Structures are given as structure tokens and as C-alpha cells.
Structure 1
């Protein structure tokens, strides 16, 4: 990150006055943490979740939550924030200038998060200590006096809008913008779909299909049914791949299993599950969730491209590594990190992984390939290129999906931006089911 002032920065302990030092306003540490999070995403290309250590050093949980909220809101509105900043400067400052980062943080609080303007700028100015504080203060003041506003809904990054417009059309862009602004609902998957009506009444939830509940965000661990393992958190779209395998009918391989919702679904449906995941930490969380749900599965820590099962399975579910652009509603950082080259590389990996996984399906068995991506290069293109002898698409039926989603003519499931918007929306996904002769 660059600055336009080379003077040595002053170092001060936040909240403690020192001789000759300026005491920082209360709340500045949370803004410093937000700055580090944004730097990690925008300059280093890290996922926001991976960068959260920058906020974990804050002793106050409220400050940690605020740092994450500020960084997320900046990422949702970055093109619009930068347009405002550039409108108030003689020439654009560098993208990685501390002054630009500080202004993004101050403006998003004042214009989108309800923070009083004086507090927003007071806690942002220390972020450029040793740098152009006067510039930051001047630009912020100019915009506030001019009654600047941010557009609603937020704008997509131009390169993302162009890519998705070509893939899904201009209407999808508007729906994506609306989805970006909306607060996603909390989706739950029930271990026993026959109890949907009971738990909907208990939790005051709505349901879009058997085994699914939707409610406003809440303290998950405090809800009825959590301790006894009646349900788990899982976006509706993410629950569809496992649903396409139906009731347990033998053995199933859940490949790239984390975060584990599909493993829980398959085990609850009666399958004998082998869950393969290369991230030990995520596999540990899956083990804990299985225990809470009183479900069982064989957990294998391995790379799917290096591992081989002892025997073929009746079904294989491959939720392949992907760009994850479909989860942009909850994770807006993906829109800034994922570039065309990465999409192409991931699609190539998926194609190889799909062929490898297919060889582990018994004759007469089924194979489901899914990605939480809105990039047709990863989903549709990979599925159409798959041509292993003996496999054919097993078309998804309308009655296997929530009302409002329909299969494509090829029998795929494509959940585009803004799908089920009137019911609260869901993540972008691609899913296809094959059957082996």
C-alpha cells in the first residue's frame, strides 16, 4: 500500500495519551483492522475469511465484528466509493494509496452504515498517520458538504458485469446488484424432512421445499433444535446436489466434502458415506458436526487427485473447487479476487477431477458434479465436455427442485444471479447428474 507522504509515521498506543502524541479516537483499532482486511483482499488477493486474523487481535468482539462489517461493506460498494473519491480529487490517486483506503472506510460508514460523519472521518484519519491527512479530510469534507450518496443497489465491478452480462444477460446484472445489497436469509437443512412443518412452526420459519427452512439471521446456537442436531446451516442452493441422490441406496463418496453440509445430508438420508477433504481443519469441524447430529461417516484427509477409494461406490458427489463467485452475496471479496485466468485454471482442474471421480462409480450408479460458481466456463462447459463412455446425463426433474427453479433443456440445474429473489434469494450454482450404464 502506498502513500504520497514519505515522513516517518508516528507510533502511538491506541487509546493512550503520550507526551507529544495525539491520542487516537475510540474505535480506531477496528478501522485499522478493517484496513488490513481490505489490503489482504485487494492487494494480496486473499479471501476475506483467510485474512480475519487481522481482526482477531482485537480484544473486543464488537470491534472484531465491526472491522469485518466495514471491510465487507467496502467490498460490496467499491466501484461506487472510488467513483465518489475520484470525483473530488484533481487526479485519481493510486488504487493502493492509503488515502484511498482511508476514504473508502470513512465514506462507507457515513453513507451506508449510519455512522455520524464526524466519527467516520475522525477514526479514519489515523490510518494515514504520516501521510496526506489533509487530503483525506478535504476530500471527505467536500463530499459530505455536497451531500454525496451511494447508488442503490450497488454497482458491480465493470469486469464482472461484462462477464455476467455475456453469460446471463442484462437482467441478471440488475438482479445481481439487488442480491449484492440484500442481507441473505438464514437457511437450515433438516435431518428429517418429514418434520418440516413442525420445525417451521417452532422456529417461525418459511420453507421452500421439504427439509428446508428459511428465517431471518439469528443466533444459531440459541435456536431450538440446535443441541439435539435437528438441523444445520446450509444455503438452499448448496443443499440441492445431495438431494439429487435421494434416499440412501448403498455407498457414496462425498469428494471435496468441506464445509460438510452435503456429508450430513447424505448420512441423514441413510447413505454409507466416505467424505474426502484435504483441509484437516475443515475436516475437524465436519467431525464435530457429525457428532452433534448423531450421524456417522468415514472421514478421509486426502487430495482427491492423489487418493483412490478401495472400491467403486454406488454414487459419487463432486462439489468441485471453483471460483465460488456464486456466494458473492455473503462473500463479496470473491468478486475482487477472481480473475479470468483463475476461472480457466479451475475449470481445467474440474474437468480432470470429474473424469477421475467418474471412474469410481459402479455400473448403474450416479455421479453428481456441482460448483458454486456463476461462470459457465466452470459449470456448463465442463459438463458438456465430459464424454467418458458409459455415462449419460440423468436429467433433473422439476419436482426435485424448489418452486421457481427449473432444469435447463439439457437437464442441468443453473441457479443464476437473483434466482428466487422474491423468496429471499439463494447462492449461484451449477449442478448436473450423470448415470453410468
Structure 2
């Protein structure tokens, strides 16, 4: 008779990870995707957080996003507690970022933060991570009240806008931004909040978007007040208008709600699908065309054209801190070149006497002021048309040249806004 099987030894069996470790592992993957591979944080989330749902998925995103907001200061603390600087992409450094940001910025008790991070470096420098974390937390390490911007970004913005704007940017990234809604109509049922402009609500500490009154009915959509400016400057219909690079559709919906006959052009089928979903939820009409604007041509010119051009997106750093690390000077140059091509092509699609609104959610002059100067110099049939005060939210004004530039510090007393450049151009009548 065979001998009974001996029970398997548990001496070398790896202990189970503490609850919550999976969310921290996802946060580490997110940071790696952004900092090493240059991926957008939101685009990396599905893969990095695969298998996580609900609160765990949200926690992974929150840890990674807050670490990106505080990265230079986290790294300064880490470097102060090691004999030799860890490589920027070392797993130990990233694990320490994940542990420290929880304790120093998100309120996680130190023992819980380190217990859920140490499994991320199994087979690696656990003692180093544990020792550096312990030394810093026992020593009363703190993060500065205002986060430090990455040096290349801070240098660029100081050179372009001055020290005050760089300081305002640090203040802007330190606090969660408010939630702005654009209403489909003035009488639409929507959450109570401040109104900075017509058909606008601003909410602070809001419930999840899908739980807010009026969401299911399609009465409004989420859109930063600065992002609403380009469509506001085209005014109200009737007439035919083209929204270039349209997804996810905030400006398309604004134009449709304002009575325009809207054609929305989008190159990416997946983004066009999201645009269709938003139009369906809000019950607003628009013709969606999936095509590359550099290849496509309209059958006839439009009365108005809105080009919210692809850009570095540095103006939306409050909600998307990953852009501070992805949008280096090479990206800015590449995007500016694409904008020039799109502007030159779009200029021929506006009827004489019609308007072209050019906008970017960028804080880089190459994607705004310099782009406008180049365009006007090469298109004598266009002139800059400054907006009137009543077309803009209170606290936002065109500059002396006639275009609109929002910066960190704009509307700071009521929660701020994204960084945008917006210029309205009038084509001469035939």
C-alpha cells in the first residue's frame, strides 16, 4: 500500500500580500508607464489596474496622480536619506514614492503605507525601502505646502510668463480643481453651484459625476470654464460650423446647443465613439465624420470653424499632472508644427466673412502667441477679432492684442481654470 502523501512544507511559501497591495502595485505600474514610457496617465490606467474595480482602481489612480503632483519634492526627500542617489527609474525609488505620498499627502498611516509597498520589491531592495521610509517618517519628514514644478517646466514657464505665474501654477496643482459643468440650455435642471458665465455651473467637493442631478437626462456635460471659451466666441447659430479634432465633444455639444448645424471631425474611431455617446446622452445633433483633417476636404465652406488643435496639453496640468513629465520641449515643437499645418488647411474652409476660432489647452507660447503671429503674417485675408466683454466669463479678458490667454492664477479667487489660448479670426469678405 502506498505511503500517505506528506503535507507540503510552508516554510518557504511566500506570505499573502496585505489587503490593498494590488492597488499599490497598480499605482507603481502607472508611474512607470508615465515616467519611463511616456504614456498618458488615463490611457495607462486600464492596463495597469487590470483586475481592479471600484475603490481599489480609484485608489491606484489617486496615488499615482498625487505622486506626479509631488514628484520633485518626494524625490528630494528620498535623496536626502540615501548615501547615493537612486536611479530615476529604480524600482526602489518608485516604491518609496508610492509609500511616501500616501503618508505625507493622502493621510495613510505609515504602517499601512509601507506594509502594502514592501511586497512590490520582493526579491529586491526591501531593506533599503523599509529603512529609507522609516528614517523619513520617524524624522518628521514633510512635503512643502506648494509643490515644486519639474525644473524644465518651471524654467520654461518662468521664461514665458514670469515668476508669479510659476508660483501660481504650484498653488494650482496643490489643490483639487473644482468641477465645471456646461448646461445644454439656461433652464436645464442641474446641480446648484456658482455661475461664472452663461450656461455654467461650478461645483466644489461634488459627488461622482454620474450621480449628479441632470446627468442621466443629458442636461449638461463636464467642461472646464476655460475650455468653453472657444465655442463661446463663435456665438450662436444658425449657420454651418465645423468642429475640428472634436472628441470628446464638449465644444461640439456647445455649438449644437447654440443652434449651429455642426459637423464634427475626429481622426480616431475610438474617440469618435465617445463623441457619439456624449451626443446621444445630451440629445444634441451633429454630423460626425471620422477622417484625418490633413487629408479630408469639405464639399463647401463653413460659416464658422473651431480648431481646438492637438497640443502639448500643458494647460490642463491641474487635472492631468502627467503632462508635466510627458510634454517636453520636443513634444511642444512637434505639436506646434502640426498646428501650423492644420491652421493653414482649415483657413481655406471658411467662407469669406466667416470666422475661425483657433485654440489650444497649452501654456506654451509656441502653441499660441507665436502660432497666431505666423498665421496672420501668412494669411492677409484674416484679421484678429477681439471678443466683447459680455462674451467672456467675469474675470477673463482679452489682452491688448485681442486674443484670450488664461494662465495659472486666472480666476484664482474662485477656484482657477485651465490654461488656454483662444483667438477669433475673421476672414475678409469677398
The two structures have a TM-score, normalised by structure 2, of 0.94
Residue 49 of structure 2 contacts residue 60 of structure 2 at CA under 8 Å; is this kept in 1?
A: no
**Correspondence for 1:145:** 138
> What is the alpha-carbon distance in structure 2 between the residues aligned to residue 28 and residue 221 of structure 1?
28
Aligned to 1:390: 381
Supply the distance in 1 between the matched residues of 2:55 and 2:47 (Cα, whole angstroms). 14
1:40 paired with 2:33, answer yes
Is residue 2:64 matched to residue 1:71? yes
Q: CA deviation at 1:79?
A: 0.1
Does the 8 A contact of 1:206 with 1:214 survive in 2? yes
- In structure 2, how many angstroms separate the alpha carbons of the residues matched to 1:225 and 1:158? 43
Q: CA deviation at 1:56?
A: 3.7
Aligned residue number for residue 422 of structure 2 = 431
Task: Determine if contact 1:75/1:333 at 8 Å carries over to the other structure.
Answer: yes
Q: Any conservation in 2 of the 1:325–1:375 contact (CA below 8 Å)?
A: yes
- Counterpart secondary structure, 2:355: strand
1:400 matched residue in structure 2: 391
1:161 pairs, out of 137, 154, 174, with 154
1:25-64 equivalences under 5 Å are: 25-64=18-57
Q: Could you report, residue by residue, the CA deviation over 1:380-412 in whole angstroms, capped at 9, with x for unpaired residues?
A: 100111031311111122221111111111101
User: CA–CA distance in 2 between the matches of 1:72 and 1:58?
Assistant: 19
Superposed, which structure 2 residues align to 1:409-420 within 5 Å? 409-420=400-411
* SS state at 2:356 partner: strand
Which residue does 2:226 correspond to in 1? 237
Structure 2, gaps ≥5 residues long: 1-9
Determine the structure 2 residue equivalent to 1:210.
198
User: Secondary structure at the residue paired with 1:237?
Assistant: coil
CA contact (8 A) 2:192 2:201 kept: no
Pick from 102, 107, 115 the counterpart of residue 100 of structure 2: 107
Deviations for 1:329-371, whole angstroms, at most 9, x for unmatched residues?
0000000111101101111110111010010000000000000
Q: Is the 8 A contact 2:191 2:214 kept in 1?
A: no
State the 1:191 CA deviation: 1.2
For 2:7, the equivalent position in structure 1 comes to: none
Q: Which runs of 5+ in 1 are unaligned?
A: 1-16
Cross-structure match for 1:223: 212
| CA distance in 2: counterparts of 1:24 and 1:218, whole angstroms | 32
The runs of at least 4 consecutive aligned structure 1 residues that moved more than 3 Å come to none
How far apart in 1 are the matches of 2:129 and 2:49? 27
Q: Equivalent of 2:169, from 176, 184, 192? A: 176
Deviation for aligned residue 1:419: 1.1
- Rounded to whole Å, the distance in 1 between the matches of 2:263 and 2:410 is 32
CA contact (8 A) 1:394 1:434 kept: yes
Aligned-partner SS, 1:359: helix
Note the C-alpha offset of 1:222.
Answer: 2.2
Residue aligned with 1:431, SS? strand
Q: Contact conserved, 1:75 with 1:332, CA < 8 A, in 2?
A: yes
Shift of 1:60: 3.4
Q: Determine whether 1:128 maps to 2:114.
A: no
Q: 1 CA distance for matches of 2:11 and 2:268?
A: 46
Q: 1:127 to 1:244 in 2, by over 3 A?
A: same
1:355 equivalent in structure 2? 344
Indicate if the aligned counterparts of 1:248 and 1:269 stay in contact, CA closer than 8 A.
Answer: yes
Q: Residue 19 of structure 1: CA displacement?
A: 5.2
The two structures have a TM-score, normalised by structure 1, of: 0.93
Question: 2:311 is paired with a residue of what secondary structure?
Answer: coil
Give the aligned partner of residue 346 of structure 1.
Answer: 335
- Preserved CA contact (<8 Å) 2:247 2:272: yes
Secondary structure of the equivalent of 2:367? coil
In structure 2, the partner of 1:6 is: none
Instruction: Tell me by how many angstroms 1:284 deviates.
Output: 1.1
User: Shift of the alpha carbon at 1:229?
Assistant: 2.0
